[in-house]
Structure 1
Amino acid sequence: MKLEDIEKKAFLVGGAVRDKLLGLEVSDFDYVLIGINSQELIDAGFTKVGKSFDVFLHPKTKNEYALLRGQNKYSLEEDLKARDLTINSMAMNYQGEIIDPCHGQNDIKKKILRHSSDLFEQDLIRIFRLARFQAKLCSFKIAKETKSKIKELCSKNDLSKIPGERILKEIEKAFKTNHPSLFFNSLKKINVLLQTFPQLNLDEDQFLIAMENLDRMRLKTDRFKVLMATLLSHIPSQSVMEFCQRYKLDNPTMKLSILVHTWQDFYFRAIEADSSEIIHFLRDANFKREQSLTNDFIQVLTLKGATPKEGEFLLECQTVLSTLKIHKVIQGPINAQKIENTYLREIEKIKMNY
């Protein structure tokens, strides 16, 4: 079978159809194929990448083409009904005609997030996908029957058993939206937040400030570790490591989050702090090997109200100490105490300019 014949048999599905109808930029083009077997795809130049079911990469566009799951048992409509939300349960054929068994077009018009069918409960991560879509489509509301379905699922299941890595993927995607706070606010409104993020058990004012700061930081950057450190700076200190471990945060994110939480009070008085404390901070920030860590720390704390002056001061201290030629400054044998004394003198010199 020729490549162009396969393309004509393909159905564009899921988020691409949704975003086309919403007038949004489409970033992921996923297709479903019916009546075509694996060998025909391979012969046409497709590359198989799926493990659990057959997924192939187009030889030119590298878009994903999946064989309809259980082609001999299920129709395209049944496959669409098994997806999470009605707005994600549409397909479009080569001529642009839309297959819409769950009335997703109507829900797009009404701006409603609604589960496609009772099969929603087959994967509990869909609750977090729902919250993520509310962050992406901030004018959409969750349907009453979907809220009832989630309440039912929460009464029958322990959401804390969901692997942290799966939830983290939804957080990462929520952090790419313009209003990541809506992800957590949505979970709070459907009474899921504290089941899965007990560390965010803050009073109303604290929670509101945390969400506002998260959105403000998102206006400046979409870097995951900076956004996560901003969020975690608001939770109790004993909960930071617990959160990092539960959601399997990578080392750079964990380092920054712990550094921010440990040293955020110090930052606001950094210039007046004892020089030995400044050295302690710089060592915690691994100033010789990870100089960008201090930059990220400053970015988070500047958002929380510190003036640029504190950041400039700490960066100057870091630059001076990291480039200092100890063997040229210290006469005779070099030891830890001599190095410490040299660092203290250099910091005192810098302070004189502030």
Structure 2
Amino acid sequence: MQIYKVGGAVRDRLLGKPVTDIDWVVVGATAEEMLAKGFRPVGSDFPVFLHPKSGEEYALARTERKSGRGYGGFTFHASPEVTLEEDLIRRDLTINAMAEDDHGVLTDPYHGQQDLENRLLRHVSPAFAEDPLRVLRVARFAARYAGLGFQVAPDTLELMRQLSESGELEALTPERSWKEISRALMEDHPQVFIQVLRDCGALKVLLPEVEALFGVPQPAAHHPEIDSGVHTLSVLEQAALHKQPLSVRWACLLHDLGKGLTPQSEWPQHIAHEHKGLKLIKQVNERFKAPRDCQELALLVGQYHTHGHRALELKPSTLAELLKSFDVYRRPQRFEEFIAACEMDARGRLGLEERAYPQADYLRGAATAARTVAVQPLLEQGFKGPELGEALKRERLKALKAYKEQRLP
């Protein structure tokens, strides 16, 4: 039995990055031997075991063969005869196909170290094209390591293009797709993930609503970058720079989908794109079964982001309706995330990335003013039931009028 550290732990150590998760591969052992040593099996599909003390994953060396469609369409073969090189060749990228023994000796049969030095994301073997999930994984690695200058190797991009055109991407489950998409959006350069998917033809399969934004112009006076797709990438970039949470990044990606529905005869204007985009945002949310907080924020940002930009011009009554739509009295954090998404949208414009966004503080102040209206005095005046709700609404509107006069005399 020989045990090797493999994959990301080896890659990140060589890159000088912190190693978080460690995966191990075991060569020359059987499942029975692993169980006898106290390892606990994980599921029934793969020969993977948890270490009795550390809880880290140890997988028996295995080969795989394509036997069906999609990510799960593989037959695995694990036995003591499978070599380390045979196990490594089934991996996606050369930089993930390196192993290290307990003396730190590197096994690198597919030149992963050289590709690390050359900053290349390159597939290990033609079998790469058998797994559609790898299109998303490579795009995610491109987003993770873009800051270090990594690029997808041209021949790998070509295989990703073939996979995108094969119909295999449609076989991915919503859960697997969302796992990759959500992880990619939380990388340092999520816009690179979308760009790589676009470069290989996968974006029009997975997110045709986002693909449709590219080539759609916007008024240059407000959007010096002009192209709606380029703007979306810039908004995502700003969201990452400002360390926004996943829900905000998801909303940033989907906020302008309605612009893809504007007839060319109306370009570069996009009248009512906020309302038109809601059905598309809902469609994308459902396709990937996004978490509820991501779904709700994306819809609210899609519908109201222009309200956010026009905050200083809004009538107190419109402001009151906006606050009600976000349920700021019970869910203040969601409104805070809306403000963040609006600010990222405003900063995601060519040459305007550093421009101040006074709307953010104004909206926060409005929410605070409305929330300071106390219910108790109204109860003491005898209001109850629907009358109490109406009285509360009047008092909040009064507070917002006073706030607006105070802030904008």
The TM-score with structure 2 as length reference comes to 0.78
Matched, 1:57 2:50: yes
Among 16, 23, 46, which residue is 1:23 paired with? 16
Matched, 1:155 2:196: no
Matched, 1:174 2:174: no
How far residue 298 of structure 1 moved from its aligned partner, in angstroms, is: 0.9
Which residue number in structure 1 is paired with residue 60 of structure 2? 67
Q: Write out aligned runs for 1:82-231 (5 A).
A: 82-138=90-146, 139-200=149-210, 201-204=212-215, 205-231=227-253
The answer to whether the Cα contact below 8 Å between 2:60 and 2:79 also exists between their aligned partners in 1 is yes
Q: Secondary structure at the match of 1:265?
A: helix
Using the alignment, how far apart are the partners of 1:128 and 1:339 within structure 2?
Answer: 50
* Closer/same/farther in 2, CA of residues 288 and 62 from structure 1, 3 Å limit: same
How far residue 44 of structure 1 moved from its aligned partner, in angstroms, is: 4.0
Among 340, 346, 349, which residue is 2:393 paired with? 340
Using the alignment, how far apart are the partners of 1:324 and 1:43 within structure 2?
Answer: 67
Which residue number in structure 1 is paired with residue 301 of structure 2? 260
Using the alignment, how far apart are the partners of 2:43 and 2:4 within structure 1?
Answer: 18
Among 316, 319, 324, which residue is 1:275 paired with? 316
RMSD of Structure 2 on Structure 1 (CA) = 2.2
Q: Secondary structure at the match of 2:103?
A: coil
Using the alignment, how far apart are the partners of 1:303 and 1:152 within structure 2?
Answer: 35
1:211 corresponds to which letter in structure 2? L
Using the alignment, how far apart are the partners of 1:186 and 1:131 within structure 2?
Answer: 6
Q: Secondary structure at the match of 2:394?
A: helix
Q: Secondary structure at the match of 1:116?
A: coil
How far residue 126 of structure 1 moved from its aligned partner, in angstroms, is: 0.4
Which residue number in structure 1 is paired with residue 73 of structure 2? none
2:17 corresponds to which letter in structure 1? L
Matched, 1:310 2:359: yes
Q: Which moved more, 1:281-290 or 1:72-81?
A: 72-81
Which residue number in structure 2 is paired with residue 79 of structure 1? 87
1:14 corresponds to which letter in structure 2? G
Using the alignment, how far apart are the partners of 1:256 and 1:327 within structure 2?
Answer: 31
Q: Secondary structure at the match of 1:102?
A: coil
How far residue 323 of structure 1 moved from its aligned partner, in angstroms, is: 4.3
How far residue 150 of structure 1 moved from its aligned partner, in angstroms, is: 2.5
The answer to whether the Cα contact below 8 Å between 2:29 and 2:80 also exists between their aligned partners in 1 is no
How far residue 50 of structure 1 moved from its aligned partner, in angstroms, is: 3.9
Using the alignment, how far apart are the partners of 2:161 and 2:309 within structure 1?
Answer: 43
Which residue number in structure 2 is paired with residue 14 of structure 1? 7
Which residue number in structure 2 is paired with residue 292 of structure 1? 333
The answer to whether the Cα contact below 8 Å between 1:175 and 1:222 also exists between their aligned partners in 2 is no
How far residue 40 of structure 1 moved from its aligned partner, in angstroms, is: 4.2
Deviations 1:161-213 (A, max 9, x none): 42232122222222232211111111111222112110112134221121122
Deviations 1:48-75 (A, max 9, x none): 3344223223344332111223124532
Q: Secondary structure at the match of 2:24?
A: strand
How far residue 339 of structure 1 moved from its aligned partner, in angstroms, is: 2.8
Q: Which moved more, 1:60-69 or 1:262-271?
A: 60-69
Among 318, 323, 328, which residue is 2:377 paired with? 328
2:193 corresponds to which letter in structure 1? F
2:239 corresponds to which letter in structure 1? M
1:104 corresponds to which letter in structure 2? G
* Closer/same/farther in 2, CA of residues 303 and 155 from structure 1, 3 Å limit: closer
Q: Secondary structure at the match of 1:31?
A: strand
Unmatched 5+ stretches in structure 2: 63-77, 216-226, 259-276, 348-355
How far residue 86 of structure 1 moved from its aligned partner, in angstroms, is: 1.4
The answer to whether the Cα contact below 8 Å between 2:135 and 2:160 also exists between their aligned partners in 1 is yes
Using the alignment, how far apart are the partners of 2:345 and 2:162 within structure 1?
Answer: 39
Q: Secondary structure at the match of 1:304?
A: helix
Which residue number in structure 1 is paired with residue 404 of structure 2? 351
How far residue 225 of structure 1 moved from its aligned partner, in angstroms, is: 0.8
Deviations 1:240-271 (A, max 9, x none): 11111111111111111111111111112223
Deviations 1:105-155 (A, max 9, x none): 222232222211122123201011111111122222222322332333333
How far residue 285 of structure 1 moved from its aligned partner, in angstroms, is: 0.5
How far residue 308 of structure 1 moved from its aligned partner, in angstroms, is: 4.8
The answer to whether the Cα contact below 8 Å between 2:378 and 2:392 also exists between their aligned partners in 1 is no
The answer to whether the Cα contact below 8 Å between 2:329 and 2:371 also exists between their aligned partners in 1 is yes
Using the alignment, how far apart are the partners of 1:59 and 1:346 within structure 2?
Answer: 61
Which residue number in structure 1 is paired with residue 280 of structure 2? 239
The TM-score with structure 1 as length reference comes to 0.90
1:305 corresponds to which letter in structure 2? A
Q: Which moved more, 1:216-225 or 1:331-340?
A: 331-340
